[in-house]
Structure 1
Amino acid sequence: MTAQRQERNRRRRRTAFIALLFGAAAAGVDLAAQAATTERLVVDRHTGLAIGGFDPVAYFTDARAMVGQPGFELSEAGAVWRFRNEGNRAFFTAHPEIYGPQFGGYDPTDVARGIAYPGNPRFWLISGQRLFLFGRAESRDAFAVDPVRVLREARQRWPGLKETLAR
């Protein structure tokens, strides 16, 4: 291969690589836009599932994130909630304000900053007998250091932030 041809191939590979990076970034932004819904409760817009189909009661009863079963569903607050069993569904039905994620499933550390960033059901923490979902492990860790401060700021900002989200 001639030097010119080699250089041309390198440029094409660089251009393709840059296009791939920009395409991935654009897809990532699109995915983030889908996840960061304009809803007051984080719901997958394609499936209608709240918190990705994870059982909100299992965080309390099993101390871990567990995917709910399609046979144990409940429609509540404009979302479909899934549960591991009938007992968990009954607990949630009786007290959705306790078992449902706080701030509609948005990351409380971001809510404290005035940003509605959806929580990931795999990054969670129970604090003060309430479930909190976080967008990143770093957010969960920052919350765990000073939950009182983060919650104070998040509770101050949540009403205004909630008003910017669709009903």
Structure 2
Amino acid sequence: MRSKYVSPIAAALLATVSLACTKSASGTKVTVEKSLVNTSGVTQIAINGFDPVAFFTEGKAVHGEPEITSTHEGAVYMFASHEHKESFNKEPGKYLPQYGGFSALAASYGSLLPVDISTWKVRDGKLYLDLNPEYADDFHADFASNVEKADAQWPKLIEKNKELNAANVSE
């Protein structure tokens, strides 16, 4: 029977190959300044253009408006309203997705993988995203343990990928 998700070794290999290339199939880019942020396109848009505040205040994924943006740690966040932008600017850490907007389950295995926005979930006041619904289900099935593992891996992922930045990873 075929596994519904990628093994940790395969995920690590996939992440390494994706990061080594100047452009992945999804167009995902990595922005590194103070942190590691999953962005796409030359515009450095994070979270695929979705409003990070709306996940918390509206309980759903809402596209941001291109004319309402803020830049944080090299990534551009789009907002559905000026009020959401103001909330984000006051407390960006409250609204940023965990693990730079990369797959939470992959982060727990020490890998970076892109996300499907439909997997979003706010839990314990934090936004989690994942590669696909199966990854999200697995991550949340053993939530405490997976958060502990991902939290331990995240600084290592930042260090491992510190040489990457928006200037040398382009479309």
Shorter-chain TM-score tier: 0.7 to 0.9
Partner in structure 2 of residue 25 of structure 1: none
Offset, 1:37? 3.4
1:81 to 77, 83, 90: 77
Match of 2:25 among 16, 21, 31: 31
**Higher-helix-fraction structure:** 1
> Aligned-pair distance for 1:38?
6.5
Q: Which moved more, 1:115-124 or 1:52-61?
A: 115-124
Higher relative contact order (CA 8 A, sep 6+): 2
1:41–1:50 Cα contact (<8 Å) kept: yes
Give the one of 102, 107, 116 matched to 2:112. Answer: 116
Aligned partner of 1:131 in structure 2 is: 127
Percent of pairs with identical residues:
29
CA distance in 2, matches of 1:47, 1:36: 10
In the alignment, structure 2 segments of 5+ residues that lack a partner are 1-22, 166-171
**Does the 8 Å contact 1:112/1:150 carry over to 2?**
yes
Instruction: Please report how far the alpha carbon of residue 71 of structure 1 lies from its aligned counterpart in structure 2 after TM superposition.
Output: 2.2
Rounded Cα–Cα distance in structure 2 between residues aligned with 1:159 and 1:35: 20
State the partner residue of 1:62: 58
Question: Contact 2:116–2:132 at 8 Å: present in 1 too?
Answer: yes
Partner SS state of residue 147, structure 2: helix
Within the candidate set 149, 153, 159, 2:155 is matched to: 159
TM-score w.r.t. the length of structure 1 is 0.77
Distance in 1 of aligned mates of 2:105 and 2:29? 15
Alignment-derived partner of residue 45 in structure 1: 41
Count, aligned residues: 138
Which residue of the other structure, out of 92, 99, 105, is the alignment partner of 1:96?
A: 92
Structure exhibiting the larger radius of gyration computed from Cα positions: 1
| Structure 1 runs not aligned, ≥5 long | 1-28
Aligned-partner residue type, residue 72 of structure 1: I
